[in-house]
A and B are shown apart, each in its own frame.
Chain A
Amino acid sequence: EVKLVESGGGLVQPGRSLKLSCTASGFSFNYYWMGWVRQAPGKGLEWIGEINQDSSSIKYTPSLKDKFTISRDNAQNTLYLQMSKLGSEDTAIYYCVREIFGVDYWGQGVMVTVSS
């Protein structure tokens, strides 16, 4: 069974940084592109970015590429999202996703709240 479990969310002050993790199981992690998607409260889905199998290709949605950094550790079956200079507009549920011609599996999501 494919499982994606996010962690590292919580309350963070504006302007600070936060790093999310996603632990994968149930499939060969190093065979797949992986990505992050977020959803602000009551809003739709926003794709953040993706990383290929050996980290040689990392792509971001243009409006977020200066704020977020995606990385992975295949030995640990873990995907990361480093977020910097956070603002209230970054308050959202962050989902780890597996990608093959789009998203095929979603994690349960982790809440990030940016507030003083």
Chain B
Amino acid sequence: ENVLPQSPTTMAASPGEKVTITCHASSSGLNMNWHQQKSGTSPKLWIYDTSKLASGVPDRFSGSGSGTSYSLTINTMETEDAATYYCQQCCSTPPITFGSGTKLEIK
């Protein structure tokens, strides 16, 4: 099964804390996106093309990375940021691969 490793699997952060989630791509030079999923709802595109914020995403979020290592960072954690975050790689074989997910909880 093609699943990109993410770390950590779960974590809890206090309001105001800085949070970093990492994802290991299967190949370098590919497009990396991030999706946010809150409990009971469908995912939403959150960050695209490694570092671009999707419409409506607060600027406390940022994305970075190159080669096979990518990350999503929340500069100052807020309650509403509690969710599961999935990285998503495009465009290799198979064309789309998701990460294993990181569940972020508020402490």
Contact = CB atoms under 8 A, between A and B. Distances in A.
A44 interface: yes
A108 B31 CA distance: 25
Given A45-B101, A95-B42, A102 B94 contact: no
Given A44-B3, A44-B86, A109-B42, A104 B94 contact: no
A90 interface: no
Interface string A53-70: 000000111110000000
Contacts of B45: 103-106
Contacts of B48: 101-102, 104
Interface of A: 35, 37, 44-47, 50, 59-63, 95, 99, 101-109
B95 A45 contact: no
A65 B64 CA distance: 33
B42 A106 contact: yes
A61 B88 CA distance: 14
B33 interface: yes
Contacts of B54: 104
